Chain A
Amino acid sequence: MKAYSLLYLAIGAMFFTSCTKDFQKINTNNNSPSSTRPEYHFTEAITQTAYAYQENAFDRRPAALGRYITLVRNNDYETFRWTAVDWNDIYQRAMIIKTMQQEATTTAQPVYVATGNILMAFNISYLTDLYGDVPYSQALQSVSTGNIKPAYDKQQDIYMSLLQLLKDANEQLRTAGTGIDASADALYAGKALQWRKLANSLRLRLLLRCSKVYAKAFTDMQEIINNSDLYPIFTANTDNAEVIYQGVKKDDSWPGGAKNMIDADFAKTRASKELVDVLIARNDPRLAVWVAPVASTAGSTVDHNQYVGVPHALANPADYNGGETHQSVLSSFFRQDKATGLKASLMIYPEVCFILAEAAQTGKVTIPSKTAESLYHDGIEASMDYYGVKAQAVTQAYYDSPLVKYDGTQKQLIIQKWLAMLFRGSEGWFDFRRTGFPEFVTGPMAFQPQFPVRYCWPTSEPNVNNDSYRAAIAVFGADDINTKMWYLK
């Protein structure tokens, strides 16, 4: 029996210990692939970028800072009682784009590298426009080089790099623009020309943004304008870089629809006084599209109009004008999961018109067969068309009304751009901080007398990237909402 027991023991020990050869198989994750096709990431990058950008624009700080809306409860956004804002989603998208480009290189599909550069430039420019200096040249290297503490780059350097990236993308797509999967391309269904238009239009946006400090801004613009074959830009709303809403799931539905916003949150979002007053003063046909009339004018205390915008940063905004039934919420147009006329926009044609109009107004750029006034008119008209009121604007003689008729001022131009850019990115706020128009007021309960000009870097940065964060402060200035970034100085 003793001999047997030793045998059993030996067999047992072998059974228990010798089998590490299955370990690799056991520890292989079969839930997801280890790499995938670039087009899967392409759709992901496009849709996530567009939806997040649009969501920001509609119900986050950009909407309140662009003074399109007034919140009658939890109005910290517009009273500037802010804490830092995280940038996770932007870098996550950037990493998806980078991964897509690597896969595209591996599978020899350079068209995704080029389109990826446009998406990358779009995301990173939004990032630096919000924060100023941000990690860029050393960013996204945790996987490749193990650098988990990327240094912050100066905004100026980032801008130069992004402008080049867009220029290169245009060139790459010009020479090798085939092979974009039409169904995966949620923006342009595989049309490379459209992507080139976006790249060049984006360059215009960036150039105007930094035109105050970047000497070559207008000459670069001029180069684009002069070579429409080489540098095609948006020429109609059909060029708009927009992603449709499926309206089926929460994450593919319009941010103001019932799937994403509860009734109370939609109800607390009022049209701002600035917006309503500007629209009323111009008898603007877009007013009725965007804003709902008040439930009752009887009992209104200070504003007896059918449409009543609420001023910002009041002590008791819900009591304004006699209470909430005498204030305008946004129209039901914005209360749909999948609405005709509502898409997630990266960039639209009216913006290009206004960019060119402003450039022409400075006299530093000339546009063939166009003037500042005609471009101004084109921008308004394209916007009216966008909202389906193009004909109505003509009937109402909108363009001839005293406040609309072109007067050559930047103020008038920016006000029209502001209207056309309603809920488009952060453009309303960005133009205001760049030009001072429209002349927003801070409101009595504002935490500080001046408008913030940036977001504070994320709260986590001092914890996870402290050395770079401190170094960035030394170069950029205090991590404060009032510190001006390079192109605003």
Chain B
Amino acid sequence: MKSFQTFVETYNYLVTVFLMVAGLYVVIARGNMIKKLIGLSLFQTSVYLLYLAPAKIDGGTAPILDAAYTVYSNPLPHVLILTAIVVGVATLALGLALVVRVHEAYGTIDEDEIFAESEEP
């Protein structure tokens, strides 16, 4: 049962790594630009999990000062991830705007098709 215990203890990290690798795979393996952006979002989500899951301290309560409690969960990673989420949203919005422009310019949003018909540098 040792391996099951290890699995439960490291479960959040396993999910993080799975999402990370799945996201990167989608970015690399798919030619459709919107799918690449979705893979990128998936990849960024795994990072949020990497920061947030360890923020919960064993036996910690909500981080509001009170005389009755001594152990609090760590609020700093939540603040960091709020920033990272906003950055991710901005990147996604910019990426989608670029995809719309590429579609207008090339008529397609598949990278392989675009490279096939593009001029040589």
Q: Please indicate whether A and B come from the same complex rather than being unrelated chains.
A: no
B: which residues have CB within 8 A of A? none
Q: Which residues of A contact B (CB under 8 A)?
A: none
